[in-house]
Amino acid sequence: MSTNSKISKQKISIIIPVYNAEKTITRCLEALKNQTYTNIEVICVDDGSKDKSRDILQEYAAKDKRFLVFTQKNSGPAKARNLALSKSSGEYIMFCDSDDWYEPDMVKEMITVLERENVDIVMCDCNINYLDDYNMYPKWYRDWHCLKYKGFINLDSQIKDKINTVIWNKIFKRDLIEKYDIQYPCEYEHDDSVFFWKYIFASSTYYGLDKKLYNYTLGNPDSVSAKYRNKKSSPHEFDFILSLEEIFRFIQKHPELNNDYSVYVSHSVGTIKFYYKMLSEQSKKKAFKIIKKVVNKNIKFLEQYNKDYLFIFQTRKFKTFDNFVQHDIKGKESLLQEIFSVRNEGIRKVITIFGLRIKIKRK
């Protein structure tokens, strides 16, 4: 039996959470309907839309039995994706956002590589559709969405840390998801990152497909990153901390995965710094208290993998912590030097106190 005939028997479930997407959902669904790989099921969950999204979904379901529609009261994309996972029947799982769309060969290309290379996860490259000014996004942020590692890779912790955490440009194995009960946490945002990290910790092989098969829309005003950039206060503004704790719990529950978690702990510090800087001044003080609480609850785990930053997360002084985050200080020694140090620079002595440099003439 040829490889192609084997591949053609594998069903792929494509999951789409939908909320007030009447302007974009038709483009998304048309792209899926016209995929060159036809053994798919498209599971759409309407998350309590108030526009015509549900009507559009039902029109597609009525004409094409591969489209399945479920509804829930407005509860967020995490709960919608979990519902879709529970209703799915494919051997493999893919995701799509309602304002994005697949290239015609995306599913075919992804499943072909996954089967041929026998890997746990495949990631493709993407085209980025900017809804606002291209220049408002720094290059590193634009590049983060794109393919970095190409070809077959045996995953180690360093590589896992550098693969982007978006879920829409990847294909996942159902058996790994079920084996480790990988779900989206419904209590907070950043749920897609939690799903990805759990899955990648359970994975050992990867393939980077150097083709732009996904079309990603950047500039959604309701996205998590947009809310932080605009410093919008919301019940979810501290979710970046809670999502880390969710992953800490998963790691401790599955010691058999045997990853080098020191890399992830360092990554967590970087995540805290990134989102903390985008908070309002009032919210930063609240975040400081929540971070301390999470660190103290997981202190034994954190001490096991990375002690370099623990002391600063346990400090009682907000100013000390804030100085550490704002100035991107790395490591205990450099932090202490930044808080207080005395150095000779030429004919002057430089005293540093909380980032403030005072120069006095040496005697």
Q: What is the mean pLDDT of the chain?
A: 85
11-220 belongs to which CATH class? alpha beta
Most confident of 57-66, 286-295, 306-315, 351-360: 57-66
Query: Bigger pLDDT: 178 or 353?
Result: 178
Over residues 132-156, the mean pLDDT reads 85
List, by residue range, all CATH 3.90.550.10 domains of the chain: 11-220
C-alpha dihedral, 73 to 79 to 83 to 84, nearest 10°: 110
Contacts of 217 (CB under 8 A, 6+ apart): 24, 97, 99, 100, 129, 131
pLDDT grade for 348, boundaries at 50, 70 and 90: low
Spatial CA neighbour of 224 closest among 259, 182, 194, 249: 194
Share of the chain above pLDDT 90, in %: 53
- Write out pLDDT tens, residues 321-332: 888 887 755 544
Contacts of 35 (CB under 8 A, 6+ apart): 102, 104, 105, 106, 107, 108
Over residues 243-266, the mean pLDDT reads 88
Over residues 341-350, the mean pLDDT reads 56
**Per-residue pLDDT at 332:** 44
